[in-house]
Amino acid sequence: EAGVAQSPRYKIIEKRQSVAFWCNPISGHATLYWYQQILGQGPKLLIQFQNNGVVDDSQLPKDRFSAERLKGVDSTLKIQPAKLEDSAVYLCASSFGTPNTGELFFGEGSRLTVL
Amino acid sequence: GENVEQHPSTLSVQEGDSAVIKCTYSDSASNYFPWYKQELGKGPQLIIDIRSNVGEKKDQRIAVTLNKTAKHFSLHITETQPEDSAVYFCAASRGYNQGGKLIFGQGTELSVKP
């Protein structure tokens, strides 16, 4: 079974530029999550989708971050304009069962460096 | 808000020794407690989880204990091997119907020396 696919793996941009990350979850997984992992810290939830509806985006900096999940499958996370503090690994995860109460399957992440 | 504290931040053991990582959580409504292992350049991977109706769970060399009264839970790895070297994260969440989200601890970097 294919895992969670993410791209690009690495991205370096200047501050105030924009960037987009793509995620393809495991087939059949209804719930999709975007986490931000700053170096030396645990993952922090940015947004959670159930099918193509948003379940939780309380920690998403909505003035600069946006995310969508079209047709309940793939998802895109966008940052515009980027700040230095956005440097982090952006992890996409998906799960089959009830959100947050079962196994999350993570992709390898997209590492963003903002200069 | 909800918070999960994890200790220690780094842990170095000799191959064959045991390793213990401890976490405390603040939300008394939390009822699901997974542990994830993250190897360099990879995403976290679930290694074991426990629910609030169980006090202990074991899977080969790893075990997790939960003390709901004290709001803490621990990961125990016995007979450590070099391939156990990684960053370990604890996490906690409420049930879906209670609007919960998974809150991760800060991580423990475990180093197993041959």
Predicted confidence band of residue A100 (pLDDT cuts 50, 70, 90): low
Residue pair B106/A41 in contact by the 8 Å Cβ criterion = yes
Locus of tokens 């294919």: A2
B42 DSSP 8-state letter: S
Contact B44 A103 (CB under 8 A): no
Task: Look up residue B78 and give its DSSP letter.
Answer: -
The DSSP output letter for A67 is E
Q: In terms of residues, how long is chain A?
A: 115
- Cα-flanking dihedrals φ and ψ of residue B87, to 5°? -100, 130
Condensed to tens digits (0 to 9), the pLDDT of residues A18-30 reads: 999 999 999 999 8
Contacts of A21 in chain B (CB under 8 A): none
| pLDDT, tens digit (0-9, with 9 covering 90-100), for A56-99 | 899 999 999 999 998 889 999 999 999 999 999 999 999 986 66
Closest CA to A100 of B40, B6, B2: B2
Q: Which residues of B touch A48 (CB under 8 A)?
A: 101
User: Chain centroid to CA A29: how far?
Assistant: 15
Return the closest-CA partner of residue A67 out of A19, A8, A15.
A19
Do residues A81 and A18 touch, judged by C-beta distance below 8 A?
Answer: yes
Please report residues of B whose CB lies closer than 8 A to that of A45: 101-102
Backbone angles phi, psi at B16, to 5 degrees: 95, -20
In 3D, which of A100, A92, A80 has the Cα closest to residue A25?
A: A92
- Of B42, B94, B101, nearest to A108 by CB-CB distance is B42
Cβ atoms < 10 Å from Cβ of B13? 17
pLDDT at B100 over 80: no
Contacts of A63 (CB under 8 A, 6+ apart): none
Cβ of B106 within 8 Å of Cβ of A40? The answer is: yes
- How confident is the model at residue B107, as a pLDDT? 97
Nearest residue in A to B35, CA atom: A103
Which chain A residue shows the shortest CA-CA distance from B48? Answer: A103
- First vs last C-alpha separation in chain B: 41
